[in-house]
Amino acid sequence: MHLHEVETIGRDALADLQVGALRATLERARRSPFYGRRLAEAGIGPQDIRTPGDIRKLPLTTKDDLRTEYPFGLVACPREELVRLHASSGTTGASTVVFHDRQDLDNWSDLVARCMYMVGMRPGDVFQNMTAYGLFTGGLGMHYGAERLGCLTVPAGPGNTQRQVKLIRDFSVTALHIIPSYALHFAGWLEREGIDPGDLTPRIALIGAEPHTGEARSRIESLLELKAYNSYGLSEMNGPGVAFECPEQQGMHLWEDAFLMEVVDPETLEPVPDGEPGELVLTTLQRRAMPILRYRTKDITRILPGECACGRTHRRIDRITGRSDDMFIIKGVNIYPMQIERVLLGIPEVGQNYLIILDREQDIDQLRVKVEIKAEHYRDDPAAMAVLHRRIIHRLRDELLVTPGLDLMPPRSLPEAQGKAQRVEDLRPR
Ligand code: ADP
Ligand code: ZN
């Protein structure tokens, strides 16, 4: 197997590399107005970093810090060195902005190309990028990574499924980048049009940008007849290329030469032991224009203990179960949307789309789930659907420990997103 050297670096050598990179990052970061203040207040400088664990001496950074400092407060270089900016999708409020210099863009492309190579893409593959271009990092981020690897890259953008299929056919596309919820719609569309995915050429899909379950991945793989690899990233840490599944598909290697990772208890902010879930906290180790220290991602995951059979030494994180803000409480029970997805997409009669509705009645939060049923199983008659209805309710109750309201919906009746899916509709009065 041909691996980039750093992917199998020994843990001690990696720690040395991280210490050097972290010192350099602090040196740069304190040139920005924001970290200049923060690091002076904390009385911390590069000389205080001797081990990767010394990261805990540094102050945390939150999305609100990035919003308060919008737009230039974290920029650590002269403005004329900046060559690109990206913004977060704004899933949880005002977007944040991240700037890159030329070297940053090169490093980012290398990381993305490394991920693609890892899952079997090679020069000569034809790559169709089916996510939005523009400020969203999944467009240009994946695009330049694929070009760096040497793939003919089709900048298709999202939506217009018919045109996507035409591009795939015309250029014999072999690898796709697609958001999981759109991949499910895409598969449903092929089925309705009577197109056999076995006649299409893609053998690899990179899926990410939004939380999804193993059940969603299995459906994407079997419906599209390809291998789908989980891709994790966030604009504050460039975008795609932060953590990525290898061919083992047992968690995502987080590239520890580029990012220093911590998993902390979101309440106490203390580190949690490996294997325990917590909030992922990330520090850029390579970024020049806008270093970010100890960024609280709000994403909940855990470090997978043990080594990966592929031989890469960078630790793996488990699939993201959601953001800490996605959790809601029904009758005293904490629930994540992904628990609901896991149940629904594990039921064969269930179609490719669902919606979770939160409401409040007499001061008590209520949970209602709307789920599309596949055409061949759907009858417009509640009595005929009663058995299926009961079965889905039982499964949901087993997983969630509360009984939600449930509506079985005809196929294609729920809203389809082209970007990140909006899985939760929150109607609770503020
Ligand atoms: P926003 O935070 O506004 O959505 P981004 O476009 O930067 O903006 O999205 C990054 C976020 O998307 C991550 O913090 C995470 O919540 C989610 N995300 C990205 N990739 C994945 C993935 N593979 N699995 C689960 N969630 C993901
Ligand atoms: Zn591996």
CB 235 within 8 A of CB 87: yes
Q: How far apart are CA 308 and CA 9, in angstroms?
A: 13
Burial of 163 (0-12, 13-18, 19+ CB in 10 A): exposed
Note every long-range contact of 225-231, with CB atoms under 8 Å and residues 24 or more positions apart, other chains counting: 225/197, 225/198, 225/200, 226/176, 226/197, 226/202, 227/119, 227/120, 227/203, 228/183, 228/204, 229/119, 229/204, 229/205, 230/319, 231/115, 231/177, 231/206, 231/207
DSSP 226-243: SEEEEEE--GGG-SSSSE
Query: How many A from CA of 233 to the centre of ligand 1?
Result: 6
Query: Which positions ≥6 away from 135 have C-beta within 8 Å?
Result: 85, 86, 87, 95
Structure tokens at 304: 């997978």
Q: Which atom of ligand 1 is nearest to the CA of 91?
A: 3
What is the structure's pLDDT at 345?
Answer: 97
Structure tokens at 272: 């949690």
What is the structure's pLDDT at 394?
Answer: 97
Q: What is the pTM of this model?
A: 0.96
The dihedral through the CA atoms of 189, 374, 337, 276 has a sign that is: negative
Residue nearest to atom 25 of ligand 1 (CA): 211
Within the chain, which residues score under 70 in pLDDT?
A: 1-3
What is the structure's pLDDT at 3?
Answer: 57
Q: How far apart are CA 189 and CA 70, in angstroms?
A: 41
Closest CA to 98 of 80, 138, 71: 71
Query: How many A from CA of 211 to the centre of ligand 2?
Result: 20
Burial of 304 (0-12, 13-18, 19+ CB in 10 A): middle
E-state strands within 26-168: 82-87, 97-101, 126-129, 152-154
Q: What are the helix (H) ranges across 299-349?
A: 337-345
Query: Which positions ≥6 away from 33 have C-beta within 8 Å?
Result: 69, 72, 73
| Substitution site in 119, 234, 318 for ligand 1 pocket (most atoms within 8 Å of beta carbon) | 234
Structure tokens at 192: 């309705």
Amino acid at position 303, single letter: I
Question: Which of the 8 DSSP states describes residue 93?
Answer: S
Q: What are the helix (H) ranges across 119-160?
A: 137-149
Strands 204-208 and 405-409: unpaired
Query: How many A from CA of 208 to the centre of ligand 2?
Result: 17
Closest CA to 369 of 395, 331, 333, 387: 395
CB 244 within 8 A of CB 349: no
Structure tokens at 101: 């210099």
Residue nearest to atom 12 of ligand 1 (CA): 209
Nearest bound ligand to CA 321?
1
Residues 260-288 have pLDDT tens digits of 999 999 999 999 999 999 999 999 999 99
Q: How far apart are CA 118 and CA 166, in angstroms?
A: 28
The alpha-carbon radius of gyration of the chain (Å, integer) is 22
User: Which residues partner with 99 through β-bridges?
Assistant: 85
| Substitution site in 181, 217, 231, 232 for ligand 1 pocket (most atoms within 8 Å of beta carbon) | 232
Q: How far apart are CA 199 and CA 169, in angstroms?
A: 9
Q: How far apart are CA 101 and CA 83, in angstroms?
A: 5
Q: Which H/E stretch holds residue 67?
A: helix 63-68
What is the structure's pLDDT at 1?
Answer: 38
Q: How far apart are CA 255 and CA 286, in angstroms?
A: 11
Query: How many A from CA of 1 to the centre of ligand 1?
Result: 31
Q: Which residues line ligand 1 (CB under 6 A)?
A: 88-91, 136-137, 208-211, 230-235, 297, 299, 320, 323
